[in-house]
Structure 1
Amino acid sequence: MSRLHSTLILLLLLPPVVPLFCYTCVFPSISPLDCIKYPTKCPPGQLCLSSRAIGQRGEFQIVLYEKSCVLPSLCGITGEKFAMGLNFTFTNDCCETHLCNRASTPTAVLWAMPVLSLFLLSLT
């Protein structure tokens, strides 16, 4: 058998590359319950992300949740951002099976949206 035939047979025996599907939120949400998530096909080489950011200014605290696809280099990191007048500390957790970022952390406070609205109004 020629080398070309051997290579073709080997390629045919390899499993096809199946894209990873992850949940994505339409917008980052204040409650894990109001994340309008839908399955999306990730670009090759990306993983499923579940991110949680805690913003604080004095006694005021808010938690934001995000789900999406992300590059592996952004997985498992914790960092800080300043946005909306708050210092946010975020944590990125990743997984690599279909729709594995489904679970939500049920620690959201139900009154966070009205409080955030009042807080943002006070900044203007």
Structure 2
Amino acid sequence: MSRFLCPLMVLCLLPAAAPLFCYTCVFPTISPLDCIKFPIKCPPGQLCLSSRAVGQRGDFRVVLYEKSCVLPLLCGITGQKYTMGLNFTFTNDCCNTHLCNGAATLASPWTATLITLLMLLAVHVAW
């Protein structure tokens, strides 16, 4: 009986869900390609966010792109925010798989290796 109890206790100590990793931009950018993306571990219960905000004054138009983790209640919404002297209309899109808010291709094979190592390290530290 005791040989079954130990593995059962270990299973009970495992986290309920694996942490979600998402990209975050250092700064909001004016091009989706300019976003310097870093993978981060999201807090429990959050999803990956890709947000696009369009601001316009006369002929001047600015589009900002942002990536991060976000609470689910902020997903799938469109709204208004005021920044840089412009009113922006933003749209939040969310996804729930690892690094799903990034570009389709990575800069190099070394980037993919680095991201994988960082994810493994974060999961190891969580244990």
> Which consecutive unaligned segments of at least 5 residues does structure 1 have?
105-124
Alpha-carbon separation, structure 2, partners of 1:80 and 1:103:
25
Tell me the SS of whatever aligns to 2:73. Answer: helix
Q: Which amino acid aligns with 1:19?
A: P
TM-score, scaled relative to structure 2: 0.70
Q: Which residue of 1 aligns with 2:43?
A: 43
Structure 1 residue 98, shift from structure 2 partner: 0.1
Alpha-carbon separation, structure 2, partners of 1:93 and 1:81:
16
Q: Which amino acid aligns with 1:77?
A: I
Structure 1 residue 11, shift from structure 2 partner: 7.6
Aligned length: 99
Q: Which residue of 2 aligns with 1:22?
A: 22
Q: Which residue of 2 aligns with 1:83?
A: 83
Q: Which residue of 2 aligns with 1:12?
A: 11
Q: Which residue of 2 aligns with 1:59?
A: 59
Q: Normalized per residue, which structure has more helix?
A: 2
Q: Which residue of 2 aligns with 1:68?
A: 68
Q: Which residue of 2 aligns with 1:116?
A: none
- After superposition, the CA RMSD in angstroms is 2.2
Alpha-carbon separation, structure 1, partners of 2:102 and 2:30:
16
Structure 1 residue 14, shift from structure 2 partner: 9.2
TM-score, scaled relative to structure 1: 0.72
Q: Which one has the largest radius of gyration?
A: 1
Q: 1:97 to 1:15 in 2, by over 3 A?
A: farther
> Which consecutive unaligned segments of at least 5 residues does structure 2 have?
105-127
Structure 1 residue 12, shift from structure 2 partner: 2.1
